[in-house]
């Protein structure tokens, strides 16, 4: 009987592949890298070559941790190298954010985040992350699962949970497959105009699309940052009419999406999809397991933009009727 490969072993096998590391680093060109999970949160990592990726991997113990790795929507001329001393790094974060970052932004890519909203249970968990609230002892007895996660409960939120029943909220179900119709619609529209875009499953909740800033029409590139984001938001809002799971909260500064060719916290690869692999994913022929991908695909020079051309978004902006 073949011995099962552990999640840690899969991360080690995946990240030991030179082609994998090259594709990660290429996708991080002009980008911030951010790491969240496994007890850490580190951002403004500047990973522009494989040697730096290897240092970050070793220092943050990426093989040992079930984490997610992100890349910025914004493109940067320069991100300074910051200390690996996390206490010192916080001061460097603040200096960068307050005095340098805006001047180094080239422009934001156009992101589409298709997110099958998690169960009401988890939405409430997010809502309750208010460390300024005060606990009442009887509340602790009512919802120990929430308190055990270090969350602080507002009175009106407690009333909501009590009225609806905590077990009902916790057992509410969802599945990423529910996001497929919205993903299909966005893909269909982009393919109709030959838009160059990248597309991947973002984890347990849905899909990401991304159109590169460099392909945008000149009149869009000439806008201010806030104007560009407002343009993207209007554009996404029109798509949302037939793709209701598009998350409209992403259109603001310093947002991040999952980094392609990395392994997210649940163990799947953030794998750029072409039409064939997308259909395989939907049908269940592709599971995004790291070992499976290494066996099925050649990763060298694969890239992230697997469909369309640079003029597609220009054509869509000028011709699309919504």
For 169-217, what is each residue's pLDDT tens digit?
A: 444 556 788 899 999 999 999 999 999 999 999 987 899 999 999 999 9
pLDDT at 226: 96
CA–CA separation, 42 and 68 (whole Å)? 11
pLDDT at 117: 66
Q: Is residue 127 part of a domain?
A: yes
Instruction: Say whether pLDDT at 1 is over 70.
Output: no
pLDDT at 203: 85
pLDDT at 84: 86
Q: Which residue has the higher pLDDT, 236 or 168?
A: 236
Q: Is 43 helix (H, G, I), strand (E, B) or coil?
A: strand
Q: Is residue 160 part of a domain?
A: yes
Kindly state the average pLDDT of the residues 40-59: 93
Domain count, the chain: 1
Parent domain of 157: 120-170
CA–CA separation, 182 and 255 (whole Å)? 21
pLDDT at 154: 47
pTM: 0.83
132 pLDDT band (50/70/90 cuts)?
A: very low
pLDDT at 4: 84
CA nearest 213: which of 113, 305, 306? 305
Kindly state the average pLDDT of the residues 73-102: 92
Q: Is 111 helix (H, G, I), strand (E, B) or coil?
A: strand
Q: Is residue 165 part of a domain?
A: yes
CA–CA separation, 187 and 197 (whole Å)? 9
Q: What is the mean pLDDT of the chain?
A: 85
Kindly state the average pLDDT of the residues 149-160: 48
Secondary structure element (H or E) that encloses residue 94, with its range: helix 86-99
Q: Is residue 140 part of a domain?
A: yes
pLDDT at 2: 56
Q: Which residue has the higher pLDDT, 56 or 117?
A: 56
**pLDDT tens-digit profile of 95-127?**
998 999 999 999 999 999 998 865 444 455 554
Q: Is residue 44 part of a domain?
A: no
Q: Is residue 153 part of a domain?
A: yes
pLDDT at 87: 84
pLDDT at 174: 62
pLDDT at 149: 46
Kindly state the average pLDDT of the residues 314-320: 95
pLDDT at 204: 79
CA–CA separation, 209 and 241 (whole Å)? 17
Kindly state the average pLDDT of the residues 224-241: 96
Instruction: Say whether pLDDT at 318 is over 70.
Output: yes
Burial class of residue 260 (count of CB atoms within 10 Å of its CB; 0-12, 13-18, 19+): buried
Q: Residue 139, Cβ neighbours under 10 Å: how many? A: 20
Q: What's CA 67's distance to the chain center, in Å? A: 12
Kindly state the average pLDDT of the residues 20-44: 94
pLDDT at 124: 52
Instruction: Say whether pLDDT at 168 is over 90.
Output: no
pLDDT at 321: 85
pLDDT at 138: 40
Q: Is residue 298 part of a domain?
A: no
**pLDDT tens-digit profile of 254-285?**
999 999 999 999 999 999 999 999 999 999 99
CA nearest 29: which of 313, 260, 200, 252? 260
Is 121 within 8 Å of 127 (Cβ atoms)? no
Q: Is residue 264 part of a domain?
A: no
């Amino acid at each position: 009987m073949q011995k099962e490969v552990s999640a840690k072993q899969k991360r080690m096998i995946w990240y030991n592949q030179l082609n994998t590391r090259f594709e990660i680093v290429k996708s991080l060109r002009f980008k911030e890298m951010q790491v969240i999970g496994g007890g850490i949160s580190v951002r403004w990592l500047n990973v522009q070559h494989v040697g730096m990726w290897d240092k970050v991997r070793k220092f943050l113990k990426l093989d040992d941790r079930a984490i997610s790795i992100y890349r910025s929507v914004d493109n940067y001329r320069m991100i300074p190298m910051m200390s690996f001393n996390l206490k010192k790094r916080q001061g460097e974060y603040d200096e960068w954010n307050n005095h340098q970052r805006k001047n180094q932004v080239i422009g934001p890519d156009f992101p589409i985040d298709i997110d099958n909203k998690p169960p009401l249970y988890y939405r409430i968990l997010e809502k309750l992350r208010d460390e300024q609230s005060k606990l009442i002892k009887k509340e602790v007895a009512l919802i120990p699962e929430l308190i055990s996660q270090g969350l602080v409960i507002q009175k009106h939120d407690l009333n909501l949970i009590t009225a609806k029943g905590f077990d009902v909220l916790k057992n509410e179900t969802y599945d990423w497959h529910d996001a497929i119709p919205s993903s299909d619609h966005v893909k269909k529209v982009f393919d109709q105009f030959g838009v160059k875009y990248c597309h991947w499953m973002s984890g347990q909740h849905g899909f990401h699309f991304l159109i590169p800033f460099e392909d945008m029409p000149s009149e869009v590139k000439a806008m201010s940052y806030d104007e560009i984001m407002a343009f993207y938001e209007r554009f996404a809002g029109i798509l949302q009419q037939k793709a209701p799971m598009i998350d409209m909260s992403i259109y603001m500064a310093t947002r991040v999406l999952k980094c392609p060719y990395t392994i997210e916290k649940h163990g799947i690869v953030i794998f750029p999809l072409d039409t064939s692999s997308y259909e395989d994913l939907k049908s269940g022929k592709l599971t995004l397991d790291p070992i499976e991908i290494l066996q099925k695909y050649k990763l060298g020079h694969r890239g992230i933009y697997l469909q369309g051309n640079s003029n597609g978004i220009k054509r869509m902006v000028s011709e699309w009727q919504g």
